[in-house]
């Protein structure tokens, strides 16, 4: 007898949450230690998550006529694309690393769209709160704000924008720890049932 593949299976189960948390923890540690998140960590998770979701959906059917395993794999892959889109754009602009983009895509594939995007949003929100706090701790917050205002008013009119860019714009921020933090908070933000 087939069961309908409903909303309870369109969210990640506890094992997927545990794998995502382990992945984010190891990625945060590697990013903090080495400054990069390696492919050997992110790409297998990105490839295996749709297969695992498809295996979980066996014996179910969908309302739209697709076999549930196929739909689950497509749902996981599309979640990876949605979660990886903004980080990929940031990578292309030189504002994030490729490992960050691949990690967020892998977490999207594991956690599916609702929880995966909650993890991503939480990670970016935590980083956005951390940067001004770090600048304030260093005593450079107001100076950076003044340099930013100068950059916006004068620097954008100039051909060479780097001449006016604040020093804080050139600092690199390792997103791995923030992605871990976002992964920790995502199930609560997305209200995943236990």
Tokens matching residue 132: 């001004």
What is the chain's length? 194
pLDDT tens per residue, range 3-59: 444 555 567 889 999 999 999 999 999 999 999 999 999 999 999 999 999 999 887
pLDDT band at 172 (very low <50, low <70, confident <90, very high): confident
Tokens matching residue 189: 């933000």
* pTM beyond 0.85: no
Rounded Cα distance between 161 and 183, Å, is 36
CA angle centred on 68, ends 101 and 14, rounded to 5°:
55
Per the rule left: phi > 0, alpha: psi between -120 and 50, beta: everything else, 94 is left
Break the chain into its structural domains and give their ranges.
Answer: 7-132+174-189
Taking each helix axis as running N to C, give the angle between helix 141-153 and helix 98-138, from 0 to 180 degrees, rounded to the nearest 10: 120
For 35-193, list the strands marked E by DSSP: 60-61
**DSSP-assigned letter for residue 167:** G
Residues 109 and 79 sit within 8 Å (Cβ to Cβ): yes
Rounded Cα distance between 105 and 80, Å, is 4
- Which range scores top for mean pLDDT: 148-152, 174-178, 188-192? 174-178
């Amino acid at each position: 007898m087939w069961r309908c593949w409903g909303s309870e299976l369109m969210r990640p189960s506890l094992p997927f949450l545990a794998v995502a948390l382990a992945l984010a923890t190891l990625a945060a540690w590697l990013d903090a230690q080495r400054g990069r998140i390696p492919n050997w960590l992110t790409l297998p998770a990105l490839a295996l998550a749709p297969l695992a979701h498809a295996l979980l959906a066996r014996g179910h059917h969908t309302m739209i006529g697709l076999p549930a395993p196929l739909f689950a794999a497509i749902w996981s892959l599309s979640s990876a694309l949605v979660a990886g889109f903004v980080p990929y754009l940031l990578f292309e602009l030189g504002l994030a690393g490729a490992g960050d983009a691949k990690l967020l895509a892998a977490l999207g594939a594991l956690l599916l769209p609702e929880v995966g995007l909650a993890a991503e949003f939480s990670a970016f929100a935590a980083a956005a709160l951390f940067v001004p706090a770090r600048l304030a701790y260093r005593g450079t917050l107001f100076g950076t704000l003044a340099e930013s205002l100068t950059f916006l008013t004068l620097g954008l009119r100039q051909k060479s924008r780097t001449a006016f860019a604040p020093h804080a714009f050139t600092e690199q921020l390792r997103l791995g720890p923030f992605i871990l933090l976002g992964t920790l908070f995502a199930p609560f933000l997305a209200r995943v049932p236990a």
